[in-house]
Amino acid sequence: MTSTTSADTVRQRYLSGLALAALGSVLFSAKAIIVKLGYRYAVGPETLVALRMLFALPFFVAVALVTGRGPAHARRSGDAWRVLGLGIIGYYLGSYLDFLGLQYISAGLERVILYLNPTLVLLISALVLRRPIGRLQWIALAVSYAGVITVFSHDLRLSGESVALGAALVFASALSYSVYLVSAGELIARIGTMRLTAWASIVACLLCVAQALLTDPVALLTQPWPVYGLSAINAVCCTVLPVFLVMMAIERVGSGPASQTGMVGPVATIAMAALVLDEPVSATQMLGTAIVVAGVFILTTRKH
Q: Does residue 31 surpass a pLDDT of 70?
A: yes
DSSP 134: -
CA 129 – CA 158 distance, rounded (Å): 40
Q: Which of 126-130, 142-146, 258-262 has the least mean pLDDT?
A: 258-262
| Mean pLDDT computed over 222-251 | 89
Asked if the structure places residue 12 within a domain, the reply is no
Alpha carbon 127 to its chain's center: 23
Asked if the structure places residue 259 within a domain, the reply is yes
What confidence category does residue 256 fall into, taking pLDDT thresholds of 50, 70 and 90? Answer: low
* Whether the Cβ atoms of residue 147 and residue 288 lie closer than 8 Å to each other: yes
* Whether the Cβ atoms of residue 103 and residue 274 lie closer than 8 Å to each other: no
Asked if the structure places residue 211 within a domain, the reply is yes
What distances in angstroms separate CA 94 from CA 35, 158, 201, 243, one per listed residue? Answer: 14, 26, 11, 16
Burial zone of 23 (CB within 10 Å; 0-12 exposed, 13-18 middle, 19+ buried): middle
Residues sharing a CB contact under 8 Å with residue 252, sequence separation 6 or more, in sequence order:
13, 14, 16, 17, 20
| Mean pLDDT computed over 196-219 | 92
| Mean pLDDT computed over 282-287 | 86
For the beta carbon of residue 214, count every other beta carbon within 10 angstroms. Answer: 9
Q: Does residue 303 surpass a pLDDT of 60?
A: no
Asked if the structure places residue 234 within a domain, the reply is yes
Residues sharing a CB contact under 8 Å with residue 156, sequence separation 6 or more, in sequence order:
163, 164
Q: Does residue 196 surpass a pLDDT of 70?
A: yes
Asked if the structure places residue 8 within a domain, the reply is no
What pLDDT does residue 70 have?
A: 55
Coil, helix or strand for 197? helix
| Mean pLDDT computed over 285-298 | 86
Q: Does residue 20 surpass a pLDDT of 90?
A: no
In tens, the pLDDT along 87-113 reads 999 889 999 999 999 999 998 899 999
Helix%, strand%, coil% for the chain, nearest 5: 85, 0, 15
What pLDDT does residue 73 have?
A: 47
| Total structural domains within the chain | 1
| Mean pLDDT computed over 266-279 | 89
In degrees, rounded to 5, the angle at the alpha carbon of residue 115 between the alpha carbons of residues 193 and 117 is 55
What confidence category does residue 195 fall into, taking pLDDT thresholds of 50, 70 and 90? Answer: confident
| Closest-CA residue to 242 (of 16, 29, 18, 8) | 29
- Structural domain including 32 reads 17-303
CA 104 – CA 122 distance, rounded (Å): 28
Asked if the structure places residue 11 within a domain, the reply is no
Asked if the structure places residue 2 within a domain, the reply is no
What pLDDT does residue 69 have?
A: 61
Q: Does residue 178 surpass a pLDDT of 70?
A: yes
Asked if the structure places residue 153 within a domain, the reply is yes
Q: Does residue 71 surpass a pLDDT of 60?
A: no
* Whether the Cβ atoms of residue 237 and residue 1 lie closer than 8 Å to each other: no
| Mean pLDDT computed over 29-50 | 94
What are the start-end ranges of the H helices in 93-240?
Answer: 94-101, 107-114, 117-128, 135-159, 162-183, 185-191, 193-215, 225-235
| Closest-CA residue to 23 (of 276, 240, 265) | 265
| Mean pLDDT computed over 32-52 | 94
